[in-house]
Structure 1
Amino acid sequence: MTVDVIVSVFIIVAMIGFFVLSLRKAALFARMQIHARLDLYPMPREGAGRAAYGGSYMEEPEWWTKPRQLDEVNEVKDILKEMLFIKKLYVNQRTLWVGSFAMHMGFYVLFGWSILLLVSVFWRPDFFVAGTWIVGAVGFALGVSGTLLLLVRRVTDRVLVKYTTPLEYVNLMLLLTVLLTGAYVWMFEASPFVVAEKVLTLQADGLPPIIAIHLVLLGFAFLYIPLSKMSHYVGKFFAFHKVLWDNDPNLPGSDVERRFRQAAAQPAQTSWSASKSAQPSSETSKG
């Protein structure tokens, strides 16, 4: 088995691993204990028009005796605004939003481009090839420009510098390296259609070394992203749907009560790292 074939197997396994690890993280979130409820209004899931002004079902007299009115369509729309367009960042930090939106949208477009490349292995009419080229060009342009903007912003902004950890620089550099090597391969080394076909059919013999380097970096990113803080694409749904917007009433016999009882019955799993507690002294009791 040649190095090129090994790299081909690795990138295929990595792509599958990305989805498996993402689903695993979603399952972990779904099985977590009930959260510390926030009930932050307005909630887009509130029906009867109450979402528009931040109202609640508790406005109704004897609300506990009446069926809930939920607007699930409006909730999905609001989640999509956040996941696709990063709405809250746009409202609160628009200058940071520009680079973040460009980077995220670039990855969304490139994800679609990857699917088109997979389809092209089996079906490749001229109009499909032309459309795929356009999608790829837009994805790389958005991804590279957005990642560069975020990197420059974190290096030059005096406030962000204080809160940016070394790992966040590593994450951005990894994404930028994958994007730049991919763009270089596409423009100067080989057609992405040819590479996709050779990789998926495990016939990738004699590919230039830069292509192998790009595929290894891409495969590593596929496996790393679901395990890192960049996996917020999984957690965002739970953060909104299961924490910020979860205002189900804690009524006797309800599922909410059952989950609270289960959480209270489980001992804490985190050990106490502070020093042994001491009796309050006269100094500490003065307040």
Structure 2
Amino acid sequence: MFLSVFICLTVLAFIIITINRAVKYAKMPMHTRWELYPVPQEKGRGEYGGSYYEEVLWWEKPRETSLAGELAEMFKEMLFIKKLFDNQRSLWWLSYSLHLGIYLLIAWAVLIFLGGFTEKAGVTVAAGSGVWPSLLYYLTLPTGILGGILVALGSISLFLRRVFTPTLRIYSNPQDYFNLIFIFVVAASGLLLWSADPDFSGARNLAASLLSLQPIGADGLMTFHLVLLGCLLIYIPSSKMSHYVGKYFTYHKVLWENEPNLPGSAIMKAVEEARGKKGVQSWSAPHFQGAQNTQEKAAGQ
């Protein structure tokens, strides 16, 4: 029963910590905007890097934005890590292996729980058991196997790249290495479990037990894997790996934010609020003291 409760609590913790981090980011003071073009929401101008500043008397005209252009660009970045592909192709192959593996394992987990729910309804998930059970069976196999292999290969290859590439090594700290090894151990232990459960029928039984909060029959390796996996679910949103949350705000509120700063606008209000904020960090450099706000820094006080 311990494992069932533990897994449910870790999933709940993952959701709560992720939401809490997103709320924290959303409430942060306004960041210095980059306004680096092209900005994808610029309707008709995103492709060549134009903006509303091209218009005569732009401040008197309604802005035309493109939600479709913004979503398309975000889709490419979130699912394919486009900027890394464009700028560091050799690193992209390793990083995307890890990320694609994670996406596949998320899909696999959904399929496993759908399979567990189906079996609790009295329908066996197996080849030739009907359209729905067969679909679950055949979709589960490639997503689980390929996802586990890609995560294991991606994490260990990124670890080795950090170790043996001088330009990466000088920017890597112990947490970077720990994160990759942690992910690799979880993925490797999962692959070992798959070797004893090639059609994932045991995983579906485990999911069925979780759905009804029944005790899980787990041996030493499964217990080791599930405990590590639960710890990873808590650790990811609590660490620098929570960039899956921060990336949205980095793009929308820093990189792509180009809403005009007009008198009485929400942007002007945010700027005024940010100017009055006092920093909480102190620097050794004489030109910046954390206890000052922006106005005091500008005045040299």
Same fold (TM over 0.5): yes
Q: CA deviation at 1:98?
A: 0.3
Instruction: Determine the structure 1 residue equivalent to 2:173.
Output: 165
Aligned residue among 120, 136, 141 for 2:149? 141
Letter in 1 for 2:247: K
Give the letter for the 1:119 counterpart: L
Tell me, yes or no, if the aligned pair for 2:98 and 2:151 is still in contact at 8 Å: yes
Q: Which amino acid aligns with 1:127?
A: L
User: Out of 42, 46, 69, which is 2:42 matched to?
Assistant: 46
Distance 1:62 1:274, change over 3 A: closer
What is the aligned partner in structure 1 of residue 188 from structure 2? 180
2:263 equivalent to 1:252: yes
Amino acid of the structure 2 residue aligned with 1:239: T
- Give the number of aligned pairs: 271
CA distance in structure 2 between the partners assigned to 1:179 and 1:194 by the alignment: 20
CA contact (8 A) 1:8 1:200 kept: no
Whole-angstrom distance in 1 between the partners of 2:213 and 2:249: 38
Deviant stretches of 4+, over 4 Å: 271-275
Q: Tell me the equivalent position of 1:152.
A: 160
Deviations 1:204-228 (A, max 9, x none): 3542111111010000000000010
* Aligned-pair CA distance for 1:145: 1.7
The residue identity in structure 2 corresponding to 1:220 is C
Matches within 5 A, 1:17-56: 17-47=13-43, 49-56=44-51
Deviation for aligned residue 1:273: 5.5
Q: For residues 254 and 138 of structure 2, what CA distance do their matches in structure 1 show?
A: 44
For 2:57, the equivalent position in structure 1 comes to 62
- Give the TM-score, by structure 2 length: 0.85
Q: Which moved more, 1:192-201 or 1:149-158?
A: 192-201
Structure 2 gap segments, 5+ residues each: 119-124, 126-132, 289-301
Give me the whole-angstrom Cα distance separating, in 1, the residues matched to 2:217 and 2:45: 63
CA positional deviation for 1:264: 1.8
**Structure 2 CA distance for partners of 1:187 and 1:44, relative to 1, 3 Å:** same
Cα 1:206–1:54 shift into 2, 3 Å: closer
Range moving further from structure 2, 193-202 or 36-45? 193-202
TM-score by length of 1: 0.89
The question of whether the paired residues in 2 share the 8 Å contact of 1:26 and 1:235 is answered with: yes
- Kept in 1: contact 2:149–2:191 (CA 8 A): no
User: Cα RMSD over matched residues?
Assistant: 1.8
Alignment of 1:103-252 (within 5 A): 103-123=98-118, 124=125, 125-188=133-196, 191-252=202-263
Alignment partners' CA distance in 2, 1:134 and 1:257:
52
Amino acid at match of 1:112: A
Cα distance change of structure 1 residues 186 and 200 upon mapping to structure 2, 3 Å threshold: farther
Q: What is the alpha-carbon distance in structure 2 between the residues aligned to residue 258 and residue 163 of structure 1?
A: 37
Q: Distance in 1 between matches of 2:186 and 2:164?
A: 23
- The Cα offsets for residues 16-72 of structure 1, whole Å up to 9 and x where unpaired, read as 21111111111111111111111111111111x211111110110000000011111
* CA displacement 1:150-186 (0-9 Å, x = unmatched): 1221122122122211111100000001101111112
Equivalent position amino acid for 1:69 in 2: E
Percent of aligned positions that are identical: 41
Report the counterpart of residue 265 of structure 1 in structure 2: 276
Q: Is the 8 A contact 2:35 2:255 kept in 1?
A: yes
- For residues 209 and 243 of structure 1, the distance between their equivalents in structure 2, rounded to whole angstroms, comes to 47
**CA separation of 1:261 and 1:179: change in aligned 2, threshold 3 A:** same
Offset, 1:81: 0.8
Counterpart residue identity of residue 269, structure 1: V
Q: Is the 8 A contact 2:4 2:216 kept in 1?
A: no
SS of aligned partner of 2:28: coil
* Deviates most, 153-162 or 111-120: 153-162
